[in-house]
Amino acid sequence: MTASLRRIGVLTGGGDCPGLNAVIRAVVKTAESYGLEVTGVQDGFHGLIFGPAHPLTSQDVTGILPRGGTILGTSNRDNPLDYTWEENGELRHKDMTDQCAANLKNWGVDAVVFIGGDGSLTVSQGLAKKGVLSVGVPKTIDNDLGATDQTFGFDTALAVATDALDRLHTTAESHHRCMVLEVMGRNAGWIALESGLAGGADVILVPEIPFDMEHVAAKVRARVAEGKKFSIVVVAEGAAPRGGKQVVQRVIATSAEPIRLGGVGNQIGQQIEDMTDVETRVTVLGHIQRGGSPTPYDRILATRYGVHAVELLVAGQFGRMVALKGTEITSVPISEALNNPRRVDPDGDMVRTARSLGISFGDRT
């Protein structure tokens, strides 16, 4: 074990997702097995900039394995590399990494486990330049981080979306309607693709495959002509028409990710109804996908990630992200994960499988 390692910090950054508490629990219990103390940073990077932080023991993490969310709290508005706030009607920017490094030193934290997506891992790299030692744990329901086969949180979000499609099927068939389900997925359509396959969708629209509404409408009309009086369409929030743009719900200038997508489902639903005369209803899952108890798979994956993160710190292997390769937990340089985002391959096996089943991606008839 690295001689100077006595206390580690743990932080959950970005949006919440099922499995965060499982990681925290694994980090604390594993650290204690090595005789290490743990400090939990409250409210993500906001807490790293301004505090507070507090000790975490095995007593604090008892019973949190099945809980959604994060007992530490989180924030996706506070980027230490470019902290932004509004003052007298103007946006102000400041690099707060020196303050973060000073806080960690004052708290007696020797190294940090950053649990987050690409934004959090990017911050960890910036803090490394200030001497902050760390490892990363990949978290995102979008499953879009490169260099790992799967991020925790995705399986739970997928299960929620699939359950929603199962429920929409029954009412769609009863009322002879087209049901549109909008799911999360800014630039990666994994939730839409896999839930669409698992939930028997007729049309799947993802960011990686620009769609044409004529093709979408043609699929719905074709089902009607075949005597199938209902259709199921699942669309990722980041899907966009060929030559068009993503639908932006709002812009939050002070956020690290100012663009908030949303509304593409309603647009598509209205166009389907106008173009086919099939009554259409739209459901937006939104944050329901992020909430609730993690699936057994996510609990196990998150736990394995947390254990391995501590083992990396103990071995002095800093600047790395834990990763799943096949069935084994390993690690990769954080830069590798950030440089290779995981996207749906338009010509990949899963898309080919869907097309073989007659599922439309809105790009061809």
Backbone phi and psi for residue 312, each to the nearest 5 degrees, phi listed first:
-65, -45
Give the helix/strand (H/E) hosting 55. strand 53-56
Residue 217 φ then ψ, to 5°: -65, -35
Where is 174: in which H helix or E strand? helix 154-175
What CA–CA distance (Å, rounded) separates 54 from 107?
9
The answer to whether 142 is a known catalytic residue is: yes
Task: List phi, psi (to 5°) of 251.
Answer: -125, 125
**What torsion do the CA atoms of 336, 290, 306, 145 make, to the nearest 10 degrees?**
-10
Helix (H, G, I), strand (E, B) or coil at 215: helix
**Are 216 and 268 in contact, with CB atoms under 8 Å apart?**
yes
Q: Is there a cis peptide before residue 52, judged by omega within 30 degrees of 0?
A: yes
Indicate which residue of 142, 155, 202, 298 is catalytic. 142
Residue bearing tokens 């439309």:
360
Catalytic residues: 142
